[in-house]
A and B are shown apart, each in its own frame.
Chain A
Amino acid sequence: MPGQLHGQCHGWTGRILLVDLSTGRHETRDLPEDVRAAFLGGRGLGGYFLRDFATLPCDHPDLPLTIASGPLTGTDAPASSFCHITTRSPLTGTVGDASAGGRLGAELKRAGFDALVVTGRAARPCGIEISDDEVRLTDAAMLSGLPTHDVFTRLRQRLPHGSLAATGPAAESGSLFATLLVDLYHQAGRCGVGRVFGLKNLKYLAVRGRGAVRVADPAGLARAREDILRLVNASPALMGQQGFTNFGTGSLFDLMDARRMMPTDNFARTHFPPAGELNAHAYHTRYHPLKRGCEGCPVDCKRLSADGRPLPECDAMSHFTALIGNDMIELAMRANDFCACLGLDPVSAGVALACHRELTGEALDPERVLELLLGMGKGEGPAARLGRELGQGAARYAGAHGRPELAMCVKGLELPACDPRGAYGLALAYAVATHGGSNLRANPLSHEVLRKPVATDRFSFSGKARSVKLAEDAAAAADSLTVCAHLLLATGMEEYARAFAAVTGQTATAGDLLACGARIEYQERLMNAQNGFSAVADDLPARFFAEPGSGSPDIPVPPVPRQEFLAARAAYYRIRGLTPDGLPTREMAARLGLPWPDGSPAQAAGEGEGA
Chain B
Amino acid sequence: MTDFAVKYAAKLAGVGLCAEGEPFFVVQDAELAFSHAGDQRQGVAVAAIQGLGAAALLIARPIGACQMTVLALAEEALASGAGFVVPGDCETRTFLHDLPVVRGLDAPGLIEALSRRKGCIVVADGQALLAAAGSVSPEQAFVTASSMAFACFVAYFAKHLRDLRAGTMTEARRAVFAAIRAQLDQDMARLPGEMPELLPGPFADEDQARAAMVQAGRFVVEYGLVDSSFGNVSCRQMAPSGELLLISQTGSSLDELGGCIDPCRFDGASCVGLTASSELTAHRAIYDGGPALAILHGHPRFAVILSMDCERLDCPGLGECHRACATPRGFTTDAGLDIPIVPGEVGTGPFGLCNTLPPALNQGQGRPGAIVYGHGLFATGAVDFRAAFATLLDVERFSREEYFRRVAALDAGAGPPRRK
Q: When A231-B94, A281-B269, A462-B1 are in contact, do A575 and B346 touch as well, CB less than 8 Å?
A: no
A514 adjacent to chain B (CB < 8 Å): yes
B359 adjacent to chain A (CB < 8 Å): no
The interface stretch among A3-11, A249-257, A584-592 is A249-257
- A494 touching B349, Cβ below 8 Å: no
Contacts of A497 in B (CB 8 A): 116
A447 adjacent to chain B (CB < 8 Å): yes
CB nearest neighbor in A for B116: A509
- B264 touching A242, Cβ below 8 Å: yes
- B136 touching A280, Cβ below 8 Å: no
Contacts of B271 in A (CB 8 A): 242, 247, 250-255, 279-281
- A511 touching B115, Cβ below 8 Å: yes
Q: Which of B261-302 contact A (CB under 8 A)?
A: 264, 268-278, 280-281, 284
Summarize A's interface: helix, strand, loop or mixed: helix
> What does the 1/0 interface line of A432-459 toward B look like (CB < 8 Å)?
0000000000000001011111111000
Contacts of A251 in B (CB 8 A): 271, 274
B380 adjacent to chain A (CB < 8 Å): no
Q: Which of A238-269 contact B (CB under 8 A)?
A: 239-243, 247, 250-255, 258
B162 adjacent to chain A (CB < 8 Å): no
Interface centre among B29, B115, B260 (most CB of A within 10 A): B29
A571 adjacent to chain B (CB < 8 Å): yes
Find B278's partner among A234, A276, A512, A514 (CB 8 Å cutoff). A234
A423 CB to nearest B CB, Å: 13
Contacts of B347 in A (CB 8 A): 233-236, 239-240
B118 adjacent to chain A (CB < 8 Å): yes
Q: Which of A36-50 contact B (CB under 8 A)?
A: none
Q: When A231-B94, A466-B55 are in contact, do A252 and B1 touch as well, CB less than 8 Å?
A: no
> What does the 1/0 interface line of B206-248 toward A look like (CB < 8 Å)?
0000000000000000000000000000000000000000000
B348 adjacent to chain A (CB < 8 Å): yes
A380 adjacent to chain B (CB < 8 Å): no
A510 adjacent to chain B (CB < 8 Å): yes
CB nearest neighbor in B for A573: B30
- A236 touching B277, Cβ below 8 Å: yes
Contacts of A239 in B (CB 8 A): 347-349
Find A242's partner among B116, B136, B276 (CB 8 Å cutoff). B276
A37 CB to nearest B CB, Å: 17
A328 to B53 Cα, complex, angstroms: 48
A276 to B242 Cα, complex, angstroms: 14
Find A241's partner among B115, B116, B284 (CB 8 Å cutoff). B284
B190 CB to nearest A CB, Å: 27
B354 CB to nearest A CB, Å: 9
- A470 touching B251, Cβ below 8 Å: no
Interface size on B, residues (CB 8 A): 50
- A454 touching B275, Cβ below 8 Å: no
CB nearest neighbor in A for B52: A511
CB nearest neighbor in A for B93: A230
A511 to B273 Cα, complex, angstroms: 33
Contacts of A122 in B (CB 8 A): none
Find B29's partner among A229, A240, A250, A571 (CB 8 Å cutoff). A571
A471 adjacent to chain B (CB < 8 Å): yes
- B30 touching A254, Cβ below 8 Å: no
CB nearest neighbor in A for B142: A454
Contacts of A485 in B (CB 8 A): none
Contacts of A575 in B (CB 8 A): 29-30
- A229 touching B140, Cβ below 8 Å: no
B207 CB to nearest A CB, Å: 13
CB nearest neighbor in B for A492: B135
- A255 touching B274, Cβ below 8 Å: yes
B97 adjacent to chain A (CB < 8 Å): yes
- Which residues of chain A have a CB within 8 Å of any CB of chain B? 227, 229-237, 239-243, 247, 250-255, 258, 276, 279-281, 447, 449-456, 462-467, 470-471, 494-495, 497, 509-512, 514, 570-571, 574-575
Given A230-B346, A236-B347, A467-B55: 16 more A-B contacts, CB < 8 Å: A233-B345, A233-B346, A234-B347, A239-B347, A240-B280, A241-B273, A251-B274, A253-B271, A279-B269, A279-B271, A447-B137, A450-B275, A451-B275, A453-B251, A463-B136, A512-B115
Please name 5 pairs of A and B residues whose Cβ atoms are closer than 8 Å in the assembled complex, sorted by A: A234-B278, A239-B348, A241-B348, A494-B117, A509-B115
